[in-house]
Amino acid sequence: MSSTADRRGALWASRARGRRGAANRLRSDVVALATDAGRIVGSEGHAQAVATLEGWLQARGLRPYRGRQPSPAEGPPPPGSAGYRLPYRNGVMRGVNLAGVVPGRDATLPPLLLLAHYDSVLSAPCADDNAAAVAICLEVATTVAQGASPQLSRDLVVVLCDAEEPPYTGTDSMGSIAFYREQMDHRGAHVVVVQDLTGHQVGLPVGGRELRLPLLRSLVFAMGLESHPALPAVLADLRWGRALRLVAAPNRHVGDVSDHLMFRRQGLPYLFFSCGRWPHYHQPTDTPDRLDYRKMARLARYLTELTGRLDATALPTAGPVGAAGPPSYEESSIDLELKWMRRAFGPYLPLLLRRAGVAALRCRGDLDRIAKLLVGGGL
């Protein structure tokens, strides 16, 4: 009979093989999507990306998301809307969202939405922005679809959004806004999980330079915990979160910079994950070889576990959207933010506190000063 140590060793080796396999799949997807042609809306590279993503959604066992069906007065649906493509237009601009479904046990429940934009700002690979997040979304969906994690009660809908980059950001042409207004079906959404810039290692901005510290390369920033009072408890004890160095902050520190914009403004529970900006942001040098695929694999595993916890958590309407915007529940996330900040920066925390002018990490004001330092430095 094998000893306990032998069993533990076999389990560790199995998990290591799983992580390597996930990292290799993620690398392969990013390399295939992040070509030199780029994915600028309307370009040949964009059209090729749409075809590639549609093929991947089908090959990985996701069903087409039909979305909101037009009324008889609106006429027939746009061409191509019977499959994974959800075309839309705004004036002369023509965009294409793509959406696939991993069916849950009860299709009547509001689904989980997992979002990432696929367009690029340059005719260049733009691997971190945002091919990496697209690949992670597909890895999560594939893991759930193939039964490697328990079946969810509700549908998991992967939405790959168009036109997130300038000049469309925040306009009616933005893919996530078009999805919410024109394409999301009557079930709405249970919660929305958005990613942007989740493939690179994080360096600390110091004196106009990026300081790379080994313990901090796995930093991932999470915004939106304040969008519903139940969310901090969901994220507090996720097992796979220990493989990353998570830092949480209210969205007000970075603003509506990505596809969570519309959902936040409508008062829907949401989470936004990012590694922040880095020297290759919106540059031709944002290439697949610069990404950390092991970190991406850890984030994919974490998001897979997170979807299961979110699926099982009741998220009743927390409050109406008023004149001042959606309600914020920052008081519910303060303890988790403090805990994560201490854990994430570890031995570097005293240095960070000194640079932020904080004597001790105790309250919201201390966290706000640290966030101001990090965002002001370029993250």
- pLDDT digit string (tens) for 30-79? 999 999 999 999 999 999 999 999 999 999 999 999 887 666 565 555 55
Instruction: Between 68 and 375, name the one with better pLDDT.
Output: 375
Q: Are strands 156-161 and 93-102 parallel, antiparallel or unpaired?
A: antiparallel
Q: Take residue 350 and report the two structure tokens written for it.
A: 């005293």
Local confidence band at 291 (pLDDT 50, 70, 90 cut-offs): very high
- For the ranges 198-202, 322-326, 368-372, the lowest mean pLDDT is seen at 322-326
Distance CA(278)–CA(318), nearest Å, equals 35
Q: Is the pLDDT reported for residue 13 higher than 70?
A: no
The whole-number average pLDDT for the span 316-341 is: 91
Q: What is the DSSP letter of 67?
A: -
How many CA atoms lie within 13 Å of 277's alpha carbon, on the beta-carbon side? 14
pLDDT recorded at residue 241 = 72
Inter-residue contact 129 to 288 (CB < 8 Å): no
Q: Angle formed by the axes of helices 44-59 and 132-145, to 10°?
A: 20
Q: Torsion over CA of 298, 303, 309 and 311, rounded to 10 degrees? A: -160
Q: Is the pLDDT reported for residue 8 higher than 60?
A: no
The whole-number average pLDDT for the span 18-28 is: 90
Inter-residue contact 334 to 326 (CB < 8 Å): no
pLDDT recorded at residue 105 = 96
pTM exceeds cut of 0.85: yes
The whole-number average pLDDT for the span 287-295 is: 97
pLDDT recorded at residue 74 = 56
pLDDT recorded at residue 14 = 45
Backbone phi, psi, residue 67, to 5°: 70, -170
Backbone phi, psi, residue 69, to 5°: -90, 135
Inter-residue contact 201 to 291 (CB < 8 Å): no
Name residues whose C-beta falls within 8 Å of residue 70's C-beta, 6 or more positions apart in sequence: 76, 77
Q: Take residue 322 and report the two structure tokens written for it.
A: 């008023």
Distance CA(280)–CA(289), nearest Å, equals 12
- The secondary structure of 263-319 as a DSSP string is HHHTT--EEEEE----TTTTSTT--GGGS-HHHHHHHHHHHHHHHHHHHTS------
pLDDT recorded at residue 248 = 96
What secondary structure, in 3-state letters, does 110-161 show? Answer: CCEEEEEECCCCCCCCCHHHHHHHHHHHHHHHHHHHCCCCCCCCCCEEEEEE
- For the ranges 39-48, 81-90, 215-224, 263-272, the lowest mean pLDDT is seen at 81-90
Q: Is the pLDDT reported for residue 88 higher than 60?
A: yes
Inter-residue contact 164 to 130 (CB < 8 Å): yes
Distance CA(297)–CA(92), nearest Å, equals 39
Distance CA(249)–CA(227), nearest Å, equals 11
pLDDT recorded at residue 228 = 97
Distance CA(189)–CA(268), nearest Å, equals 8
Average pLDDT across the chain, whole number: 91
Inter-residue contact 219 to 210 (CB < 8 Å): no
In tens, the pLDDT along 146-203 reads 987 788 999 999 999 999 999 999 999 999 999 999 999 999 999 999 999 999 999 8
Which structural domains are found in the chain, ordered by start? Answer: 20-337 (3.40.630.10)
Reference 186, options 68, 300, 285; nearest CA is 68
Local confidence band at 17 (pLDDT 50, 70, 90 cut-offs): low
Local confidence band at 135 (pLDDT 50, 70, 90 cut-offs): very high
